[in-house]
Amino acid sequence: MLKITGSARDAVESALRRADQPGAKHVFTSRADARALKEAAAADTQYRTGSRRPPYWGVPTCIKDNVDIAGEVTTAGSKLLAKNPPAQKDAPIVTRLRAAGFINIGRTNMTEFAFAAVGSNPHYGTPRNPAFMDDRIPGGSSSGSAVAVALGIVAAAIGSDTGGSVRIPAALCGVTGFKPTFGAVTNEGTYPLAASVDTIGVLARNVAGCAAMFDVIRDQPGTGCSQAPARPRLAVISNYVRKSLDDAVAHAVDAACDLLSDAGMELAPLELPEIDEIPELHKNGTMVMYEGYQLLKHIVPGHEAECDSRIVARILAGGRIPAETYAAIMRRRAELQASVAQRLAGFDGYLMPATAITAPLIAAVQEQDAFLATNALLLRNATVGNFMGHCGISLPCQPRRTAPVGLSLSMIGGKDDALLALAATVEEILERRQ
């Protein structure tokens, strides 16, 4: 759970000191030190007067820079949007976090417009992945939130996930990343990318942290499903998501599956031919690219020089996708979702590698071709869950003192509480090896 010891001011000051460390460079697009300290002091005063303390009183957090906070500019990682006026009101999820006692210490860095999974940003800098001694990518687009958690600046942070943007940086940085079911958390007050899949998510040190923050920001109360099945039956996806895996990823995921099996879980390989169709459906561009262009076509064209050129390439490519192609993708998507749901009937969830690779060097993905290739490979596995409308979580599964690897556990949409309960059991088993 997310609790503090001592005063709210002490907790916030400690978080801000950790945010000042050299390894935290570029984690934030803007800091809220003065505001956070003022809120902490007010929280301490209120508690001393005998007021009932909210459940997460004084817990520092940080919020991805595509979420509105009253009085602050929502840049979505772009210098173009930095020219906009400040938000007039908090996004609903920010209101809920405040009411629960969380104190925001800053807006976290992200890929420009949340339009890539690498996590680099030429405007605000690229946060360094703290799991490595050399300079490696953090993953994105929720790069700053993942690094903030990995460095211990905060115990849990807000991200967003359109094609894996919570689970990918969680996997690469060695933290836990939860993507709820699409629609479980309102997107109001969040700068959009693709309205059909945009999802607010949580990055935290563990499953309990994700569950606690999700319970605060979700639209509807939980179902009370707090216990996993006695003998879960899990599908291990055997096609598509197993292609081109790093040896380190393959070894860690296979070993994790062995641990779960040894602990009494029933694991069975399962082929999902439906997901093999995804590249063919997107051969002329993805649904996210189409939807992203529709949003950004009034903002980016004519200002390309002010944007990340690698992101601009993806945005403009979305403008070349015919409306009828997009409509065909969406029709087939609904059919594939129904077919996959039938195949998964009888399973309590399914497993796969969260990403195909571990974090590459930042220098290795600077050029556009390398960037786009790496981006596509990072997105491949995580996007399956968004495309199918599922909820999912990435759990660290690597052996001790090795590069972070994420084990993805997912379920049919709407089973968020069951997923988190099962994930807590899986986490406990995995931690025995680490």
Residues classed as catalytic: 64, 141, 165
Centroid of chain to Cα 187: 14
Rounded Cα–Cα distance for residues 93 and 185 (Å): 8
Report strand pairing: 200-204 vs 176-179: antiparallel
E-only strand ranges, 230-271: 233-237, 266-270
In DSSP terms, 159 is beta-bridged to: 201
End-to-end CA gap in the chain: 20
Rounded Cα–Cα distance for residues 54 and 56 (Å): 6
Amino acid, res. 246: D
φ/ψ (deg, to 5) at 268 = -140, 135
Specify the 3-state DSSP secondary structure of 269. Answer: strand
| Structure tokens belonging to residue 11 | 């907790």
Question: In what side-by-side order are the strands of the sheet with 28-31?
Answer: 28-31, 103-108, 60-64, 156-160, 200-204, 176-179, 391-396, 406-411, 349-353, 233-237, 266-270
Q: Per 3-state DSSP, what percentage of the chain is helix, strand, and coil (rounded to 5)?
A: 40, 15, 45
Q: Residue 390, Cβ neighbours under 10 Å: how many? A: 24
Rounded Cα–Cα distance for residues 46 and 36 (Å): 15
Q: Residue 45, Cβ neighbours under 10 Å: how many? A: 12
Is residue 242 within 8 Å of 380, Cβ to Cβ? no
